[in-house]
Amino acid sequence: MLEDTVTQNLRDTFRDSALVFDPHRDLVSAAKAQAGRTRRRRVLVSCIGVACVVGVAVAALPWLGSGSARDSVIEAMSARGETAMESVWYHESLIDLLPNTKFQVGDAPARALSESVVVGRFVVVERGRAFFTAGDEDPRTSAEEFDDPRVQWRTVHANLEVEQTIAGKQRDRVTVGFSFVGRSPDFEEIDEGLRDFGRVVLFLSKSSVFRYDPDVLGTVQDGSLVGLIDEDGDISLPLAGDAAGRLLNGASSVDQLIEAAERPERVIRFSASGQRANAGDRVADMFEPAAEDPGPTWTRDGQPVRPSDPTGVEIAVSRGPSHCGWESTTWLSFGWPLGTRATDSRQARTYIRDPQGVISDELRAGFQRGPGFPADVRPTGYRTGYVELWLAPSDQDRYAYLVNAEDHSDAERWPLGGRGCS
């Protein structure tokens, strides 16, 4: 969400649907700021796709990295990200960066933030461009030799050998650009460090930072979302700082990204002022307070589900029994196997939303907001309002997932219950 500190000019940018960012110009401005002898700090405002960044450039000083080349490159790239004092990004997890998720601001066309998501290794790293800007008194920016000590902004081109395309345009090999502003290791250390990353996952997009070479692609969020993959296929985001946990929610492994890439396309909408179009529609809002009988209606694959009647119940949400003091809980029951109509509890499964532990501590512990999804989770086709029912064969005997159809990071996990009261 946009904060009150975002300027009116920035809001005008959204309102006019001018969702075009010129990172080249942004980095030139950063280089000017780094000249260091101006009497004020230069604030950078830029829009990337449907994201806006406000930042302050750091002074250009000799690089004093420590540890391995890999650690030095991570440190330098992390420092690049720290120049952003305030970032406004609309994606809430890596799943939102897949090409099957598009963002729409106002009346502008819906757009994905990436064009390809690939797994691979950096095999060759080459020098890109280097620039120097004298300062406000002399605003001209000049291209310089890559290793010139005056240079304030460098780019490198890393050739990625692709072993797998998770989503989007299929690729066998791609050249990816990274920018280093201010302090950075020398080229030999960058070369060694990037190749030492091992297996990586990248969210590729075009960037005008590298418009001087149309064969060079950028990455979403200016390189800060390079995912490192361990031997088990789990992903880490060492450049994302405190946001890493949120971004990895439901997408902490290659398998989870592959599964998410197979989901149907969705569009997440925002108003021209940057407010989420369905900002009040959260999964919790559907079930707090607990639904009164007969509860919300359901559809399956777009077709209405017949309400409960003497022939049984296919799926229903109801409030817990008041005579036991459980009316603050919500019970989701459906025929089992899924799609059948249950006439008694032996033919049904019941999952209970009990975040306060009114019924038991076990149900409270099993309930979770914003859970990580198992790799095999799938939509069942059942939906009530904007909430979908998802199940995973690996844990459907323990949990059901209630998921916002427009925002999969907004989800709840309900544990299997079904114990009645006397």
- Count CA atoms closer than 13 A to 38's CA, side-chain side: 21
Q: Which amino acid is at 199?
A: R
DSSP 241: G
- pLDDT tens column, 281-329: 788 888 887 766 667 889 998 888 987 777 889 999 988 888 888 989 9
**Closest listed residue to residue 71, CA positions, set 193, 203, 226:** 193
- Residue 266: the pLDDT is 79
- Residue 45: the pLDDT is 32
Encoding tokens for residue 188? 């030999």
Q: Per-domain residue ranges for the chain?
A: 8-270, 283-415
- Residue 64: the pLDDT is 42
- Residue 422: the pLDDT is 61
Encoding tokens for residue 227? 């995912």
**Closest listed residue to residue 282, CA positions, set 140, 138, 410, 377:** 410
Q: Which residues pair with 179 in a beta bridge?
A: 155
Q: Which pLDDT tens digits describe the chain residue by residue (422 residues)?
A: 333 333 333 333 333 323 333 334 444 444 444 444 333 333 333 333 333 333 333 333 344 445 688 998 998 888 665 554 344 566 778 988 999 988 887 778 888 999 999 999 999 999 998 887 776 555 566 777 777 877 778 899 999 999 999 999 888 899 999 988 776 788 899 999 999 999 999 999 998 888 889 999 999 888 888 999 999 999 999 988 888 888 888 788 999 899 889 887 878 777 665 666 655 578 888 888 776 666 788 999 888 898 777 788 999 998 888 888 898 999 999 999 999 999 888 899 999 999 999 999 999 999 999 888 998 999 999 998 889 999 999 999 999 999 988 778 889 999 998 666 76
Where would I find the H helices in 102-248?
A: 187-195, 244-247
- Residue 414: the pLDDT is 97
Q: What's CA 335's distance to the chain center, in Å? A: 34
- Residue 274: the pLDDT is 64
